Amino acid sequence: MPSVVAENIVKKYGKKKDIVEALHGISFQAEEGELFGIIGPDGAGKTSLFRILTTLLLPDGGSATVDGLDVVKDFKAIRNRVGYMPGRFSLYQDLTVAENMEFFATIFNTSIEENYDLVKEIYSQIEPFKDRRAGKLSGGMKQKLALSCALIHRPSVLFLDEPTTGVDAVSRKEFWEMLRKLKQQGITILVSTPYMDEASMCDRVALLQNGKLLSVNTPAGVRASFGKPLLAVRGTDMLLLLTHLKQFDSIADAYPFGEYHHAVMRTGYDIEQLRNYLQQQGHKEIEIQTIEPDIEDCFMDLMKN
Ligand SMILES: Nc1ncnc2c1ncn2[C@@H]1O[C@H](COP(=O)(O)OP(=O)(O)OP(=O)(O)O)[C@@H](O)[C@H]1O
């Protein structure tokens, strides 16, 4: 049985003239034990979707189930089964680390001791600071505490809304490693993020833009669906190089990508012709390589088209 099923979910905010359609009929399924990513820029609708699936917001259309329970009719039962880490900081800043944990355990009628095995790996990293107020923790430590609190009642499905936004690169990596380990314990994890590079850490990813799902696939499936030749191009004047790449006939799109520019080519392109053209424009030390698309190339292509 799938853990999460969304069928044609619609969410609108506001009235009449000022209506904002945040979700335009979202459908997908996340399987039991899956690490499922929802990737999308700010305002794509990630928070609205998570709040509907965790029963905190009513949809205006469509239906959804979590563990086979209906998000509208069975909201009480769902609340006992899901863990939710909202995007904005969810902890009580004036309570200590231990008090936050005890608070969340108590409202779910359990205790830290009862589920310690599940949170041990994460909580043990912040336990030495258990008497420190949550408001005085570093970003990475707050994130670990919020995750421990979301897990303390042993949920079967965990919803993490942008857990790595604003977190440094090392903590982000550590966080994804923690999620991998949690997944091994059989928890279904839905995680939203605006960072496209995090897609490769998921079993499957859904790309969300302007309230619409553009693709639901495995990271390998996303890459395989690109279907266009791609070049990485470098020179001494990268700014001017981008302008000239965009003006070249056989190039459908060009954008900066790390130390290179990526150029999406039209069929029938010729690398030597491109090299000659760039040399004529005065570019030096030109490097051109054919490359396989990264997941970010695929998402950018989907979003532009
Ligand atoms: N309470 C609200 N009233 C009016 N519009 C809203 C409300 N909440 C969200 N929206 C709008 O709905 C759209 C989707 O917002 P949502 O917060 O779900 O997206 P998001 O992907 O989580 O983005 P962000 O990371 O910026 O929160 C946006 O256009 C947002 O401005």
Q: Average pLDDT, stretch 181-187?
A: 90
Average pLDDT, the chain: 93
Which of 51-57's residues contact partners 24+ apart within 8 Å by CB, and which partners? Answer: 52/9, 52/11, 52/23, 53/4, 53/6, 53/82, 53/159, 53/190, 54/78, 54/79, 54/82, 54/84, 54/159, 55/79, 55/82, 56/84, 57/11
Is 90 exceeded by the pLDDT of residue 11? yes
Q: Which residue has the tokens 């969340």?
A: 104
Radius of gyration (Cα) for the chain, nearest Å?
23
Residues near 41 by Cβ (< 8 Å), separated by ≥ 6? 194, 209
Using the 8-state DSSP alphabet, how is residue 15 labeled?
Answer: -
Please list the residues that pair with 231 across neighbouring strands: 263, 290
Answer yes or no: is the C-beta of 68 below 6 A from any ligand 1 atom.
no
Strands (DSSP E) found in 109-203? 157-161, 188-193
Same fold, 2-224 and 230-304: no
Task: Look up the ipTM and state it.
Answer: 0.95
Is 90 exceeded by the pLDDT of residue 289? yes
Strands of the sheet with 35-39, listed across from one edge: 82-85, 157-161, 188-193, 35-39, 204-209, 212-217
Q: Which residue has the tokens 């890459």?
A: 223
The pLDDT, as a whole number, for residue 218 is 96
Is 90 exceeded by the pLDDT of residue 282? yes
Name the class of domain 230-304: alpha beta
Q: How far is the CA of 12 from the centre of ligand 1 (A)?
A: 10
Atom of ligand 1 nearest to the CA of 49: 18
Residue 165 — very low, low, confident or very high, per pLDDT cuts 50/70/90? Answer: confident
The pLDDT, as a whole number, for residue 217 is 96
The pLDDT, as a whole number, for residue 116 is 87
Atom of ligand 1 nearest to the CA of 161: 22
Is 90 exceeded by the pLDDT of residue 13? yes
Q: CA 75, 76, 81 angle in degrees (round to 5)?
A: 90
The pLDDT, as a whole number, for residue 274 is 96
Q: What percent of the chain has pLDDT over 70?
A: 100
The pLDDT, as a whole number, for residue 242 is 97
pLDDT tens for each residue of 83-117: 999 877 678 999 999 999 999 999 888 988 888 88
The pLDDT, as a whole number, for residue 273 is 95
Model's pTM, two decimal places?
0.90
Q: Average pLDDT, stretch 42-63?
A: 96
Pocket test for ligand 1, best of 11, 48, 190 (most atoms within 8 A of CB): 48
Is 90 exceeded by the pLDDT of residue 305? no
Answer yes or no: is the C-beta of 39 below 6 A from any ligand 1 atom.
no
CATH superfamily entry for domain 2-224? P-loop containing nucleotide triphosphate hydrolases (3.40.50.300)
The pLDDT, as a whole number, for residue 15 is 85
Residue extents of the structural domains in the chain: 2-224, 230-304
CA 27 – CA 248 distance, rounded (Å)? 39
Q: What percent of the chain has pLDDT over 90?
A: 77
Quick one: how far is CA 16 from the chain centroid? Answer: 32
Residues near 269 by Cβ (< 8 Å), separated by ≥ 6? 229, 250, 251
pLDDT tens for each residue of 191-250: 999 999 899 999 999 999 999 999 999 999 999 999 899 999 999 999 999 999 999 999
Atom of ligand 1 nearest to the CA of 41: 21
Q: How far is the CA of 294 from the centre of ligand 1 (A)?
A: 28
